[in-house]
């Protein structure tokens, strides 16, 4: 009601004629001085009778109020649908990240397996190297140095170098994943085993 507006409106009759056919309770307009007087009521014919519709000021205020209400509702709807889209986007992103992390973990597990296997291979190669060196020392002592012994030692050293290089590269990948992708299951034990096998002479 116009008397309840944020800027209440005073009854046209009460203000201009000092009286109103309605009581202060019944009248839509204020029967006190609000500083704003409603305009003369607009009348329109309905069923052969003159019916009071509303003051022009009230019309304008109501129209303005409805317009603001509608614009707020429209903005709220737009915000809600944007929030729904954002939530969907978040969910899709989280799912993709989870898949990625699983895939990365699998790669990382493979690297660890390779670390362990290459450490085992290095230990075996170092055992062979020791045998060949002992063989070479023995044949040299006997005055019959073996050219096969020298070739075998060259081959074993080459194998050790190749496996070491491969293991180092794979280790670099593993460390990169640990540092930049947050895969943090580096087993210090497997790294230690690799280092130990490589230094074992």
Q: Binding residues for Zn ion, per CB under 5 A? A: 11, 14, 20, 22, 27
Angle at 6 between CA 5 and CA 8, to 5 degrees: 50
54 vs 195, beta carbon nearer Zn ion:
54
d(CA 114, CA 134): 30
- Size of the chain, expressed as the number of residues it contains: 201
d(CA 133, CA 198): 17
CB of 49 to Zn ion, least distance (A): 20
CB of 28 to Zn ion, least distance (A): 8
Angle at 89 between CA 87 and CA 93, to 5 degrees: 115
Residue number of the CB closest to Zn ion reads 20
27 vs 153, beta carbon nearer Zn ion:
27
CB of 81 to Zn ion, least distance (A): 45
26 vs 147, beta carbon nearer Zn ion:
26
3-state secondary structure of 29: coil
CB of 47 to Zn ion, least distance (A): 24
24 vs 103, beta carbon nearer Zn ion:
24
How many Cβ atoms from other residues are within 10 Å of residue 108's Cβ? Answer: 19
CB of 77 to Zn ion, least distance (A): 39
d(CA 176, CA 162): 21
26 vs 188, beta carbon nearer Zn ion:
26
Token output for 75: 């903005």
């Amino acid at each position: 009601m116009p008397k309840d507006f944020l800027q209440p409106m005073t009854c046209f009759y009460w203000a201009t004629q000092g009286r109103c056919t309605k009581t202060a309770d019944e009248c839509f307009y204020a029967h006190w001085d609000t500083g704003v007087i409603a305009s003369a009521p607009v009348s329109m014919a309905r069923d052969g009778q003159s019916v009071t519709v509303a003051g022009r000021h009230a019309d304008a205020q109501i129209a303005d109020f409805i317009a603001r209400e509608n614009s707020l509702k429209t903005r709220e709807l737009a915000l809600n649908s944007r929030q729904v889209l954002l939530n969907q986007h978040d969910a899709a992103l989280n799912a993709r990240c989870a898949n990625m992390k699983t895939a990365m973990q699998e790669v990382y597990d493979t690297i660890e397996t390779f670390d362990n296997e290459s450490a085992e291979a290095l230990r075996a190669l170092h055992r062979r190297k020791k045998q060949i060196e002992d063989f070479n020392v023995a044949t040299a002592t006997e005055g019959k140095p073996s050219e096969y012994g020298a070739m075998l030692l060259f081959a074993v050293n080459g194998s050790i170098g190749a496996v070491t290089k491969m293991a180092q590269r794979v280790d670099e990948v593993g460390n990169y994943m640990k540092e930049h992708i947050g895969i943090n299951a580096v087993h210090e034990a497997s790294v230690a085993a690799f280092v130990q096998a490589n230094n074992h002479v």
